[in-house]
Chains A and B, each alone.
Chain A
Amino acid sequence: MTSSFLLDGEEVPFTPGQTVMQAASAAGKYIPHLCWHPDFAAHGSCKLCTVKIGGGFATACTTRAAAGQDVENGTEELTAKRRTLLQLLFVEGNHFCPSCEKSGSCVLQASAYEVGMLSPHFDHFYPDRAVDASHPDVLLDFNRCIMCELCVRASREVDGKNVFALSGRGAKSHLIVNSESGRLADTDFAATDRAAEVCPVGVILRKRVGFAVPIGQRDYDARPISQRVVEKLADGEQEAG
């Protein structure tokens, strides 16, 4: 038996146990998100998928769908909140999109375009985060890390390796790798790992393939992320990368 809830006034069917995000995606509706990925358990940390249910805020990725729920998603209030959340993520790290290898296929950048974010707005934090180029096949540029923990989850759950973890607290949070030296080269990480491909931003980068697809012809250059994500989900493609 399927039930349904309302998403911005439109009926969305769901099967019991699905979250609002899962049901919406399956129905071809886009709710902005960074730390959520269909292949992994919900994390609920980026808060981009914050929606309004019955007058209160909730994350769509962790909230179970329920019959008769009235979910607001695309309202100006929520879009403004998401814009601010994205601005916070931009100033917290160091993002120079024009020179970034990930530009055009970056979920953070594409989400910013999606909600009409035109400037970072807040003063930049300019954190000092050193790059790790020790691994023969992969570069880690921590400057763009948004703490979504997708690589952490992919490495643990799919690769069975536990290469990554978040360390530190609060604004000092940062990604670490599983070695005493702190260098990726000293872990068992491989470029073929699922974790290498799941990063929604430009932190985990494969070496020597950087600009194989020119900027301008990349995933989100042609179409907005709202359209791409829905297409990909419909085709059963993997989302990030």
Chain B
Amino acid sequence: MWTPSRQEEGVAVTNIESILERHAYEAHRLVQILRETQDALGWLAPETLTCIAHRLQIPRVQVESTANFYSFFHIRPLGEYRILFSDNITDRMLGNQALMQALCEKLWLEPGRVAEDGLVSVDTTSCTGMCDQGPALLANYRAITRLTPARIDEMAHLIRRRVPVGDWPPEWFHVEDNIRRRDVLLDHGLAPGEALAAALDRGPTGLLGEIERSALRGRGGAGFGSDIKWRSCRDAWGDAHYVICNADEGEPGTFKDRVLLSSDFDMVVDGMCIAGFAIGASKGFIYLRGEYRYLLDRLETRLAQRREAGLLGRDILGRGFTFDIEIHLGAGAYICGEESALIESLEGKPGKPRIRPPFPVTHGYLGQPTTVNNVETLALAALIAVRGGEWFRAIGTPASTGTKLLSVSGDVARPGIYEFPFGVSVAEVLEAAGATDTQAVTTAGAAGSCLAVSEFGRRIAFEDVPTGGSIMVFDQSRDMFEAARNFAHFFAHESCGFCTPCRVGTAVNARLMDKLALDRSSPYDLDEMERMHHLMQGASHCGLGNTATIALRDILAKFRPAFDRRLHSPDYEPGFDLDAALSQARRMTGRDDAGAHLTDNRSAHAGGHPSEAKP
């Protein structure tokens, strides 16, 4: 393993010092400080954490707690190269598992383990938002798309020859926008700042009036009325107000915010400025998910250009309005998309949802009134500032006005972004994307419902099929059990661990699904998942736990044969194989006669459930 020399240690301390200085020794910037420190030093060693705690004058446990919460931070050395395969169900359908296996074999590695020489580790990560161009992976946290066996081959060579990731073939890092259908948003035709100027003309009250008339509802999933959110934030008392653009986009199967940031960033920035103008804020944050790290430099550059052009910063457009934006990068935690967890993360803490009330609109970032909005919501607000609320309201359906960006992936001929007015049927979307022989469609990533063929006539709208924009398509060849199992593992991995039902319940579900996958289950196990669904829905602290079992239960109800096929017996089955458990003892004792084997597993636990013992 790599150990630093004295000289290198000196360099390390200088590195940390300059990073801390850049962040003004502010403890609430801890997530950014840790990320940059890790970038510079390779990993977050115990003495690094101590040093940071000391310099920020905060308890060391606080630093360790944050460092150990996020998937992309490591407090143990993980090799010079860290390869993380995106493991969403769409990546699986595109063959990521075989590719990962191949890379591991070429590098003589086991997934999840660091190579003996400390060179490389290979593991999986949750959906990286590249479903339209998967299978994808992150190499030292930089996204690589469209993996093929040939690319994997070459990657193994590059790693063995210690070629820095920055020198790998540039085309590997190419991320497409894949916009397939444009409507009013993607076809806006507005110049940067045009929407902002229109908003300044209307004044805060006029602007809020247009947003209200538009009946715009948040595109982050919950569909909360944007005018109500902005008004309550504006009315809340505070020393400062903040606007946060939620670009955490962690829901499996969604990538529309990535495309908006990449191809329509000015619209998003205009939207943030407008929100700031409406609520009386002068500062905004973009919380960009760690997986979209590759966008950071481009977005920073664009923000700087806008400052130069008078479209951001002091005295915007020469009209006395001051508003600036800072980008914070996440570090691999789906829960940070939940708005109060996002704010905790922005404050340098582990991303665990807060107790509500109070809500962020009154007590958000640093305890001040804060509005958190999705990327798409902000872009739409900009459009509304120009075209007016009435115009917007005429599009879509009565309870779901405007258009919706859909990220379509899976078994379709043309995966990518489709902008449709709300009210479009699932079948129309499938038709547009070139889906054939479709068996099922998930409409809200891992966290929402799963539709069977008979439901494809249903409409995408809050009043029928709500969606954050993740449309994953499964044709008849797919095993829906595997989709459900992938989701169960996703939630077990992404639960923040704060509350009992979700922390333990998601782990129980993942175990039950694995037991089914090993053909060791009985209907009893299916009932257990039903029971977990009833507990977690309602008892969980936040939306993650409250929605984590919806898709699982939907798939279980609608695609039951995929589960029944795997049932081993009609009675309770233990999750382990007693005879197999004895194999080690057999090897140690050198015995392999009939008496050293259990022929009937069931005899070993006569009397029912093996764990029926008094607490």
Q: Which residues of A are in contact with B by a Cβ distance under 8 Å?
A: 42, 44-48, 50, 56-57, 62, 81, 84-85, 88-92, 95, 97, 109, 112, 117-125, 146-147, 162-173, 176-181
Contact = CB atoms under 8 A, between A and B. Distances in A.
B505 A88 contact: yes
Contacts of B511: 123
A81 B59 contact: no
A173 B615 contact: no
B539 A168 contact: no
A155 to B, nearest CB: 9
Contacts of B612: 118-119, 121
A85 B500 contact: yes
Contact of B61 (A84, A95, A176): A176
Interface of B: 46-47, 49-50, 59-62, 64-65, 68-71, 333, 350, 355, 492-501, 503-508, 511, 528, 531, 535, 538-541, 574-575, 609, 611-615
14 contacts: A44-B541, A45-B498, A48-B500, A62-B355, A119-B609, A119-B614, A119-B615, A124-B611, A167-B65, A167-B69, A170-B492, A170-B495, A171-B503, A177-B61
Nearest to B515: A123
Contacts of A123: 511, 574-575, 611
Contact of B539 (A81, A109, A117): A81
Contacts of B493: 170
A124 B496 CA distance: 21
Given A165-B62, A170-B496, A180-B50, A88 B609 contact: no
Given A97-B615, A162-B62, A56 B609 contact: no
Contacts of B60: 178-180
A50 B61 contact: no
B535 A85 contact: yes
Considering residues B46, B50, B501, which has the most beta carbons from chain A within 10 angstroms of its beta carbon? B501
B334 to A, nearest CB: 10
- Closest 7 pairs (CB-CB, A-B): A165-B61, A173-B497, A162-B59, A88-B504, A57-B538, A170-B495, A171-B507
B271 to A, nearest CB: 31
A100 B615 CA distance: 11
Contacts of B504: 88-89, 91-92, 171
Nearest to B71: A169
Contacts of B506: 170-171
Dominant SS at the A interface?
loop
B615 A112 contact: yes
A90 B614 CA distance: 11
Contact of A118 (B47, B62, B355, B614): B614
A176 B65 contact: yes
B492 A45 contact: no
Contacts of A44: 355, 499, 541
A50 B496 CA distance: 19
B59 A147 contact: no
A14 B58 CA distance: 38
A122 B500 contact: no
A88 B497 contact: no
A84 B505 CA distance: 10
B568 to A, nearest CB: 15
B64 A167 contact: yes
A44 B495 CA distance: 16
A168 B68 contact: yes
A147 B497 contact: yes
Contacts of B355: 42, 44, 62
Contacts of A173: 497, 503
Contact of B59 (A112, A168, A169, A178): A178
Contact of A84 (B46, B531, B540, B611): B531
A56 B498 CA distance: 21
A122 to B, nearest CB: 6
Contacts of A165: 59, 61-62, 64-65
B534 to A, nearest CB: 8
A89 B508 CA distance: 11
Given A97-B615, A167-B61, 11 more contacts: A45-B498, A45-B541, A47-B540, A85-B501, A97-B614, A118-B612, A123-B511, A123-B574, A165-B59, A170-B503, A171-B504
B333 A120 contact: no
B539 A57 contact: yes
B419 to A, nearest CB: 35
Given A165-B64, A168-B68, A170-B492, A125 B615 contact: no
A60 to B, nearest CB: 12
Given A50-B539, A177-B61, A121 B492 contact: no
B609 A121 contact: yes
Given A47-B539, A88-B504, A169 B495 contact: yes
B72 to A, nearest CB: 12
Nearest to B493: A170
B495 A180 contact: no
Contacts of A181: 46
Contacts of B531: 84
A35 to B, nearest CB: 9
Given A95-B615, A123-B611, A180-B47, A46 B500 contact: yes
A162 B61 contact: yes
Contacts of B503: 92, 147, 170-171, 173
A46 B46 CA distance: 30
Contacts of A45: 498-500, 541
B533 to A, nearest CB: 12
Contacts of B499: 44-47
A47 B333 contact: no
Contacts of B575: 123
A105 B540 CA distance: 28
A171 B535 contact: no
A122 B495 contact: no
B61 A169 contact: no
